[in-house]
């Protein structure tokens, strides 16, 4: 599996009240499985299993942790569990629904509602090159997505890994935020070497080198980068590269005359490198989407 040195739970394994069917995703931090509950309903189950800390190399189902890594493993376990507890309190149509969380096999599992559809990344990939942006779809999709993110922030949580791959579009077109990065951030802050908790191009400057500055404005940068990628069909330049020499063509220049001016201004506002120059809350961003003009930019671009 990509980024995973561990063996996943095998097909047919009984995990509490759930029967594992197959692996949906694998990364350096976890496995995600498709499973069935006792009624036969499909669920997605996320298993805490950092590949650089804990190894499952046989069928014992209980991976082995080196004594030197136990403290960090248990710290990450606690963060993952607490994140599951916090997400389970959220019940919003545009945020992944955590149905259950529990300990088993000396690790932690989050049980989530299984959704049918595809990722925004797949939607962008399949959009015909040069095809005009469906502006009504764009406004509707991001308005709903921001409703979900506002609920996340209201509950004192940050997503920390917003990107097209973590925005899921249901079959009816409605978006949901999936795969939060808070527990991974906590592990990274403890010095654990994991694959990046963020995706270059979608992460703010403070994601990279100043975690003390992370806040709602950091998720908003990622929203702006996700919007930009819908137009460019690719991620904008890595934020660290932008700090050195900003090569990102502002949306207001790149798509002038092709996309509504207010949308382009909003994207550029979200992508400002200085965190205090971005929208400071989702509410401020939503007001702009509803017609309130983004503030003028008075400071020059940060560049080398």
Q: Would you call 172 a catalytic residue per the annotation?
A: no
For 167, the enclosing helix (H) or strand (E) is strand 167-170
- What is the DSSP-derived secondary structure letter of residue 166? G
The catalytic position among 161, 219, 246, 268 is: 161
Helix (H, G, I), strand (E, B) or coil at 274: coil
The DSSP secondary-structure symbol of 132 reads P
Distance CA 82, CA 75 (A): 11
Which residues, 6 or more positions from 176, have their beta carbon under 8 angstroms from its beta carbon? 93, 94, 95, 96, 115, 148, 167, 168, 170
Q: Helix H segments across 114-250?
A: 120-126, 135-154, 182-189, 205-209, 216-232, 239-244
CB 269 within 8 A of CB 294: yes
Q: Across the beta sheet with 175-177, what order do the strands follow?
A: 117-119, 167-170, 175-177
**Active-site annotation, residues:** 161
């Amino acid at each position: 599996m990509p980024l995973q040195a561990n063996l996943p739970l095998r097909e047919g394994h009984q995990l509490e009240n759930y029967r594992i069917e197959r692996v949906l995703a694998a990364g350096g931090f976890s496995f995600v499985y498709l499973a069935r509950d006792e009624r036969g309903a499909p669920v997605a189950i996320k298993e805490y299993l950092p590949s650089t800390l804990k190894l499952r190399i046989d069928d014992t189902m209980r991976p082995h942790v080196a004594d030197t890594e136990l403290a960090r493993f248990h710290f990450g376990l606690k963060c993952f569990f607490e994140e599951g507890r916090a997400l389970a309190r959220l019940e919003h149509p545009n945020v992944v629904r955590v149905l259950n969380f529990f300990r088993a096999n000396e690790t932690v599992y989050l049980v989530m509602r299984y959704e049918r559809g595809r990722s925004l990344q797949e939607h962008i990939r399949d959009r015909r090159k040069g095809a005009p942006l469906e502006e009504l779809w764009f406004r509707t999709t991001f308005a709903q997505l921001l409703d979900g993110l506002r609920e996340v922030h209201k509950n004192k949580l940050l997503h920390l890994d917003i990107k097209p791959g973590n925005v899921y579009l249901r079959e009816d077109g409605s978006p949901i935020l999936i795969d939060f990065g808070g527990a991974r951030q906590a592990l990274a802050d403890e010095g654990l070497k994991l694959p990046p908790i963020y995706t270059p191009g979608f992460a703010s400057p403070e994601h990279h080198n100043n975690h003390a500055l992370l806040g709602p404005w950091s998720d908003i940068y990622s929203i702006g980068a996700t919007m930009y990628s819908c137009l460019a069909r690719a991620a904008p330049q890595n934020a660290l590269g932008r700090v050195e020499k900003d090569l990102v063509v502002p949306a207001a220049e790149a798509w002038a005359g092709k996309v509504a001016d207010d949308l382009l201004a909003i994207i550029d506002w979200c992508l400002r490198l200085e965190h205090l120059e971005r929208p400071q809350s989702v509410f401020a961003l939503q007001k702009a989407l509803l017609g309130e003009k983004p503030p003028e930019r008075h400071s020059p671009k940060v560049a080398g």
